[in-house]
Chain A
Amino acid sequence: MSDYVKMWEDLGMDLETHDALCQVLPTAFGDVYLSQENRPEGMGFWDFVVSEIHGIRPAELIEAQKNGQKVFGTFCVYVPDEVVIAANGIVTGLCGGSQFWVPGGEKVLPKNTCPLIKASVGARLDRTCPFFRIADMYVGETTCDGKKKAYEILAEDVPVHVMDMPQMKRAEDYDKWAHEIEKFAGVVEGLTGNKVTPEKLNEAIKIVNNKRKALKRVYDARKADKLPISGKDALLMMQIAFFDDPVRCAEMCNKLADELDQRIKDGVSVFPEGTKRILLTGTPLAIPNWKLHHIIETSGAAVVCEEMCTGTRYFENLVDETQTTLEGQYKALTDRYMKNNCACFTPNTGRIDDIIRLAKEYKVDGVIDVNLKFCSIYDTEGFFVERALKEAGIPVLGIETDYTDSDAEQLKTRIEAFVEMLG
């Protein structure tokens, strides 16, 4: 029972409102996570992090700030962590995955904004997220209209730098993104007072690549016929990867992957034989959004892969480590980040290719295409996703949901029927 009250007070948090979250989180975590049997031992690390979620990492960040480091809060997998790390800065994810924060966001945003944006803004304005309080700067990106406007609201309180994302993938768009990365490096240098040098950037590229490789090892273990880890445990690892120190993250993920590899050798599975394998694709699942994984995994199926920002998009493709000039490195970063296939691009056929490829690699029985309510770009792209999957003979179910509990039973009925249909 570490006492973080003083730290939260110093951060100017609304303790009373925040306590309501402390009230519900242990129950939800118990129901979703601790109800599982035979989990990998290595998950103890992530259980620990959740137990101290608004305490232990914020305390580390504050300590780092006392030593002169700057903290950059980010919202999206397109923002290159490497640049921040090269300037001795720290990247952290920000709160945005709970209904708890949504009403706060609705005070200033239209109701028909996606829950992720409403929750993020609510967490900031209601002063109930330590990460939003700690960050010296928020780094946004123009991946959707809702976020663009939300950044303007957030910028009234805290410095915000917005990276202008290309919306197409032509040669000139690659040039534009390389230029945006270079400009971002200048902003990071300005705030940290540290120069981004080719040596430092190369070191940072290696750090983040190692983290990607470690996350991928855990995902690769989910390709096994006998699943050594549940989808929700893998999701938790992925969600916390956005907040943790990248070196420690890689170390813990590698440790978990070692255990999973051993489980595969020993034929240990956390699901009964014949459990249907599901690929989830769509909008991100920010912590503590565990709803869909829990419903799927209590309906006779297992989630084996997430083609999401909180999934394969976060770790697939490495940055070329051989470049020795900043220009070459910015280009290498551009090439890697532009390989991500977000629905903000037009066209975005690469995502369809990814989904079909992943469906084969992870030997899935079916795909669930999930969209957060009011995310029009993913919702619209669902038309192509579902058509392509049908053409490939892969069963698909399209779902639109938010963070509320009210549709849980309805979703369960639909998912159970889908799983049953998979034979």
Chain B
Amino acid sequence: MKERPSYLSTGILLLGALYCLLPVIWVITASTKGANELFSTFTFAPSTHLLDNISELSAYRGGLFWKWMANTALYAGVGGALSTLVSAAAGYGLAKYTFRGKDMIFKILLAGVLVPAVVLAIPQYLLFAQIGMTNTYWSVLLPSIISPYGIYLARIYAGASVPTDVIEAARTDGAGEARTFFTIAMPMMLPALVTIFLFQFVAIWNNYMLPFIMLGNDQLYPLTVGLSGLLNQGASQPAMYTSVITGALLSIIPLIALFFLLQRYWKVDFGGAVKG
């Protein structure tokens, strides 16, 4: 039964879409403008300087911007993958075994969900400074691996998607616990693992405070820290603004691409399970 279309609800949705697209449309047009046009031509009037802006940005301090891009991909890719693996193992352990201390461990991990990572950043810095680990790739990677929320999701999904009979059958066939996990349980949990990976990937990609605090060497910066530094310089050299804007556009392209390619994995339900 096809329902009668409602102009009001369609209109409200399109208005919401417009609001959300506005800054993105702006950054696309603004990055085509030359430095002298940025503040003088109409906001959404495009120009022809996109390639000039990109090459100017790329030339900035020997391609530092692309180094930031590579760093961000490293932090988010490696951090997200390790985080997913750690969460999957822990979630599986919590869902599929009974053992002493299980409830306590789960409650402690759940409490971790409520402690915001950003509040931990300064204590983490102070501790890392004690052992001389600040200003290294590890200082950003290590804190990104632990994700209490990822463990929580993995536990729910392992409970829902890996039948206990299958594990029992593997055991009877003589498969070790680790092998059962890697070859049988992991593939069954795959859709949820992709979702956990994506959320962690985005969280690390978007993270600002942790790398901002941990890193002093701009060769190690991710995009967020690098670009906000460039914006700061723009206050004294307005010519930097075009580079900042072009950098902003280039920095959101990978995530937007990822997001369109993996659309069907963006499904979350806090109340129940992750749906793949």
Q: Do these two chains interact?
A: no
Binding site for B on A (CB under 8 A): none
